[in-house]
Amino acid sequence: MNKTYLALLLAMTFGLTACGSSSSDDTSVETPDEVTDGSGDSDAGSSDGENEEGTIYGPFSTGSTSEPVAVYFDLDTQTQLTLTEEEAATDTTWDIGFKRTNVFLNTNQETAVSLYFTGNNNDFYDDTGAPVSDLFLNASADSELDDYLAVTQSGIPEAEAFSTDTETQVIGDTFYNYDFTTHVVTPNEETYYIVSSDSNYTKFHVTDIVTEGRGIGEITLGVMHQSVLDGQTTFAEEVALTLDAVGCSDAVYVDFDMQQVVTQADGWDLSIPCADGAGEFTLSIADDATVLRTDAETYDGVDTEAAQFYGFSEETVSEYAMSANNWYFYDSTSHLLYSQFGVYLIQAGDTTYKLQITSYYDEEGTSGAYSFRADPVSGE
């Protein structure tokens, strides 16, 4: 690996990022499967024989961007478990999982596995939240080993400080505001959503809500459609679309391509369930659609070539505990990930473990190949 070239590359990319508007990006991102400059090599592979504290396990491949694979790890035995995603959805043996940039915890156990960030290497980001390039550039598994070894039982906080993975909805209740004093519902006009459906994109927000009893009688959407099939690269001017749910007996369905109400048998993109003669306070996207929550200014259109990096997801998504203090810095210029070498505490059953991710790349520079340290937290 050309160290001089890599140093220049990192200096430039970190410098450009520091001048930008955002530093640490917690949005799920994907990196190229091959790192052509050779950066990100794992400092150590999987270890055989007797386990010593600080042993690096891996690299464990999580597949490619187009064909991701989940890796499940049992902290008790310090081994990878061979499970399908269907099996892992109910299995209680594994503790922590990896799938491309996501690190997730097992919520199937009697007490869900939980995580706490110790806060080491907070200085990798300055007071503005921008990455400090020299610290990322010079950090390695060897240089950050002392931080890992320094974590002992005296540093374990109360159980309330730990967080578990949860599930949430991208749209959910974010499209309206509810005043608990006056019991008045108003639209959250500042929150926008982009729906990817039928090869096209639609940006919308809610501009008006008229209640009917405890439900929605009428709701108005501000809709901006981008017909990729017609060659459009930006969203069209906003069009008001008012949906009437008063006296409904079935859900209200919307086709964004036509920007009108349709039936369930048609190619609908958004629906409002019906209950007791009014719409429920729920906006649901079609099963084959994905959605992104955003604001008015961030996107004036979707670049189809880069759409996979935007963070589109199904309506129900997992909120990973590690995302609150993510293990990596994503450089949007080089599309590489750099570990902060943070040390995390993980409670699984009656045991507290510590974890430090040391690399996201294998020796050939292929992304999605995790190496990490993991041990039970010892005494003083």
Q: Which two tokens stand for residue 170?
A: 């991208």
Cα Dmax for the chain: 70
Q: Are 95 and 75 in contact (CB under 8 A)?
A: yes
Q: What is the pTM of this model?
A: 0.66
Q: Mark 262-290 as b/e (b = at least 16 C-beta within 10 Å).
A: beeeeebbbbbbbeeebbbbbbbbbeebb
What pLDDT is attached to residue 133?
A: 79
Give the whole-angstrom CA distance, residue 314 versus residue 2: 41
What pLDDT is attached to residue 329?
A: 85
Instruction: Report which DSSP code applies to 133.
Output: H
Q: Which residues contact 349 (CB under 8 A, 6 or more apart)?
A: 76, 109, 111
Give the whole-angstrom CA distance, residue 311 versus residue 309: 6
Beta strand extents in 276-341 (DSSP E only): 278-279, 284-285, 290-294, 316-319, 328-331, 336-339
What pLDDT is attached to residue 34?
A: 57
Low-confidence ranges of the chain (pLDDT < 70): 1-50, 332, 380
Give the whole-angstrom CA distance, residue 268 versus residue 285: 9
Q: Are 273 and 279 in contact (CB under 8 A)?
A: yes
Give the whole-angstrom CA distance, residue 83 versus residue 92: 11
Q: Are 108 and 92 in contact (CB under 8 A)?
A: yes
Which of 319, 320, 322 is closest to 344 using CA atoms?
A: 322
Here the contacts of 224-228 (C-beta below 8 Å, separation 24 or greater) are 225/200, 225/201, 225/256, 225/257, 225/259, 226/200, 226/201, 226/202, 226/301, 226/302, 227/200, 227/257, 228/199, 228/200, 228/201, 228/302, 228/304
What pLDDT is attached to residue 17?
A: 42
Q: Are 116 and 157 in contact (CB under 8 A)?
A: yes
What pLDDT is attached to residue 50?
A: 61
Q: pLDDT tens-digit profile of 119-147? A: 999 999 899 988 887 888 889 999 999 99
Q: Are 204 and 192 in contact (CB under 8 A)?
A: yes
Here the contacts of 68-73 (C-beta below 8 Å, separation 24 or greater) are 68/99, 68/100, 68/368, 69/99, 70/97, 70/98, 70/99, 71/97, 71/98, 71/99, 71/370, 72/96, 72/97, 73/97, 73/98, 73/374
User: Beta 252-255 vs 260-262: how paired, if at all?
Assistant: antiparallel
Instruction: Report which DSSP code applies to 325.
Output: G
Going from N- to C-terminal start, the domains of the chain cover 3-165+320-376, 169-309
First to last CA, the chain: 39
Query: Alpha helices of the chain — where are they, by DSSP H?
Result: 3-18, 85-88, 133-138, 145-149
Residue 185: count other Cβ atoms within 10 Å of its Cβ.
15
What pLDDT is attached to residue 317?
A: 87
Q: Are 196 and 312 in contact (CB under 8 A)?
A: yes
What pLDDT is attached to residue 138?
A: 86
Q: Which residues contact 81 (CB under 8 A, 6 or more apart)?
A: 72, 73, 74, 91, 93, 94
What pLDDT is attached to residue 44?
A: 40
